[in-house]
Every structure is written in structure tokens, then in C-alpha cells.
Amino acid sequence: MMPEQLTLGPRKQGGRPFPWPCPNCLEEAVRPERMSYTCNAAHDGRTYQIEIPEIDIPKCQSCGTLVITNSVDDRIIQALRARVRLLTPEQIRGGREALGLKSKELAEKLGVAAETISRWESGGIIQSRAMDNFLRIYFAVPEARAVLRGAEQNPDLGTTTIPTTPLSQA
């Protein structure tokens, strides 16, 4: 059963004791309710249906409005990452650390801002599918790391077709 209205809750409200005032009907009737939740989430120009089988969402007991708080939003983003099969912030940080790189060094090699790496690792933003693929290749393929050297990179890389031996035969 879908509520009549979804409302983004105040970012600060998450730590306050219940009941909360409802942003829709203004009644002091918002309490957490465990439920399954389905929504649509957009990523990279596509819309995905996200299903979370069990989540606590503040809901107004008077009008049925759901209040989307930080923790609910975090769960939706986590479910979106899983649905789209993107690296998690922990996996990105782990890949970088396994290579012994600082955020700034990885950013330089990939050609992105250091703040972008920081936001991916903190979960502040979700990387695009293309950047996710790029990260996976960078972390997994030593030959990719050898040629992607940031400012030190060969300026002719990728501009000419040079016959090479496939990696499986190297």
C-alpha cells in the first residue's frame, strides 16, 4: 500500500525522539514503521525500481505521509548501488588503499578532482557506470595502471591504432 504523499524530512530531525510533527498535516503523529518499500531512482539517465524488503520509515499515523530522513535516504542509495551493481564507497577506498595510493594520487591518475574521489569514498555521490567500469579496470588490471599516469601519461595514448598482443597471450 502506497501512502498518498512522500515528504523529505528535515535533515536534523533524525535524532529527535518520536512522535514528530507531520510536515503534511502538522499533527504530532509521525512514528517509525517497519515496512517494505519500493521506489524509482534515477541514475545515469535511467530509472531503476528499487525494492527494500524491510526498512524503518517515519510515517504519519494520521495522514499516512512517509518522511524520508537521512537514514532512509542512505538505505535507498545503498539499494540503488546494489541494483545497478556499482562499487560501494568501501570497495573504492579499499581498492585505492590496496594500491597504496592517496586520494589525490588516484584522482590524478584517473583525471578527476581529488574531491570527487573523496565524495565517492564517503558515499556523498554515486559514480557513473562509466567511472565505475574505469575504477574496476584500474584496480584490477596492472597494465591499465601502467599506462594511466595522469600528467605523465603518453599524449599519444589511444590516438593511434597499434597492433598489440592480447593480454591473454602476453
Strand partners, 39: 50
Residue 145: closest CA among 78, 76, 98, 84: 98
Q: Give me the pLDDT at residue 152, please.
A: 82
Confidence of residue 165 (pLDDT cuts 50, 70, 90): low
* 89-151 fold: 434 Repressor (Amino-terminal Domain) (1.10.260)
- Residue in this structure with the C-alpha cell 539517465, named with its chain if needed: 45
The residue with greater pLDDT, 59 or 170, is 59
Confidence of residue 18 (pLDDT cuts 50, 70, 90): very high
**CA pair distance 71, 85, nearest whole angstrom:** 21
What's the average model confidence in pLDDT over 54-82?
A: 96
Give the start-to-end residue ranges of the domains of the chain. 6-84, 89-151
Residue 165 CB: number of other CB atoms within 10 A?
A: 7
Q: Is the pLDDT of residue 169 over 90?
A: no
What's the average model confidence in pLDDT over 50-77?
A: 96
Would you say the CATH fold of 89-151 matches that of 6-84?
no
What's the average model confidence in pLDDT over 16-26?
A: 95
What's the average model confidence in pLDDT over 36-57?
A: 97
Q: Is the pLDDT of residue 74 over 70?
A: yes
> Within 13 Å, how many C-alpha atoms sit on residue 83's CB side?
20
pTM: 0.79
Pick the CATH number of 6-84 from 3.10.20, 3.30.1490, 1.10.1060, 3.40.50: 3.10.20
**CA pair distance 20, 27, nearest whole angstrom:** 8
